Structure 1
Amino acid sequence: MAKRFGGRFSPQPRLDGTDPRAPARPAPGEFRHPLESRTRWVTIMAIPFLISAFWQDPNGLALHLIAFGAVASGMWMTREGLQAEAAYDARRVARRPAIPRKLFGGILTGLGLAIGSYVPGAEAGAGVIGFAGAMLHWLAFGTDPMRDKGMEGIDGYQQDRAQRIVAEGEAHLKAMQDAILRTGDRRLEARVGMFAATARELFSHVEENPDTISAVRRYLSVYLQGARDATVKFADLYVQTRDQRARQDYETLLTDLETEFAARSARLLEGGRTDLDIEISVLRDRLVREGVRPAPTPPAEPAELQRPMTLDDLLIPRESEKPRR
């Protein structure tokens, strides 16, 4: 039976009747760097080392195999570094990668080229080729991020704690999306994807403000774990029975969870705005006390409000309100 497909860039609305929305935060493994495809081509160009190894003497065989392995390992490290850089660039608050993968990838690539071009008696030439390959790697792929981004004023312990809890939440979302695939229903897959996008929006707020982790921890652990268990049980039941009532109950559950997660994200934003207003007010008062900024003058009251109003003021019209003859 034919199935209708929809998406963000389709002219028709989405299958579940809601407006398409881009996720606020990509899922782990979905970060893509524009230079990532270059690593594949470099690995392919190192294949002659692998092929020519079988026409060499034992020493040449070992050297060529090691050369190909070094270049392939360097490109694997470089690809991992590019993915880490893409994740670093996608977040407003991020730590620098713990391991400079692109740096190690460049060293391995240069080492592989030097070993592959080694000829007895011409060690200097092999060293020049290896150094040139490492420099070309640096020019082609750049360097690793070497400093933290947006971490000023953020507790490192709280940040690590928030990342662990967010990683647990991502694992629950991944389990939900894997379980719903068993139903083979595109509408249900899209519905779970929308809920995952809303949950990841909350993840972004937690990563940027780790101090709020205590207020939303049950959403990222208890609620998501319950949603995962409900999804697994629903998928098992729906595959066997195609029960429409169970499907309606499950979609209602997702709607309730999505509404609650969105409301929690809005409350976090409102709380941050309130804290900002308080900080601005306190700073302004301090500037006034220290004489840096003049005190604000209260607005002048109208003349009729400077004395108490009597009953005659209400019954007897004023001169300006009398009708003209």
Structure 2
Amino acid sequence: MPLLPARRELAPFADQDPPPWLARTTAGAKCNAEWRIGQAEVDLLRDAADDMDAIDQQFGGNRLWKPTRAHLHWVHHMIDRGTYDDNLGRQLHAVAGKFTTSLGWFSYDSGLQAQARQYFSEALNAAMLTGDDALASRTLSIMSRQAVDLDKGREAVRFARLAQAHSKEWHAPARVAALLAIREAQGYARIGDSFNCEAAIKRAWTEWEHGPGERDPDWTSFLNLAELTCLEGMCRLDLGQSSRAQQLLATSEGLQDVAHSRNRGMCLGRLSAAAIGTGDIDHSIDATKETLRLVQGGMSSNRALTQLEIVRDGLAPHHRARGVKDLLEQIHALVA
């Protein structure tokens, strides 16, 4: 199977402009007929949001931000034009918040960092207006992750701590506490604060070992054993602990399943970088080849491509080693 084309420049979009099919519906909404919203319509939208998140876990967000944006416009259209009771109104606003945060995540995964921040800000505003502390916790958790990628470790720590404050307001379960603790650890790792990073990692594992619960929100379902191991490995890598990072990332990569292929690809990219750090070029090559195989199989995440660029730069000094030259050419063809 041929490699997917290199990352493309995505056309700028104006959030105030609805898609054409919605614009026509809006124009026709001037009639006096009442548009009553039912529970079935809200349930379908909630299911669609869950489906988008599941697709992201396997394939990445590059192909998801556009359809998610269209869904979000439709939800806002229902809120503005429809007729519904208070209960359905609360559900519609919750679905809108879910789509908004997911849209921010998909934009982030696609490399559209400014747009991602815009949607995260909108989601936080919605959370504040509706008193939805769970939405605030989720959004701030993702913002913390983005801040790490943007090399803003202190900001990542602040977002994680603020998310923890919101989580206390809704008595969040242990899985949420574990996620927010490892987000905090990632921020500390990025600024080289090993003492606080170690403490946060320990808290994350302590909370995770409480096990899953009935109150766990769907946005923590990705935090399985493989993913928490990977996130700790990423912390170790940022702290310069290459050998320990390689061990953790190798363990994580072997635990991931097909449903979490995007996370496995991210783990493989970090594993390749860690192996370079320990001088284990053969294992770096193997991990990079597996990442390329996932991309060829349809995984579309700009974050994964960015990680491949880092690996390419790390492997470049070893271009005379067996297999490295061909691998560099494959990466170049993908990310050039």
Relative to the length of structure 2, the TM-score reads 0.21
Structure whose CA Rg is larger:
1
Higher helix content, 1 or 2: 2
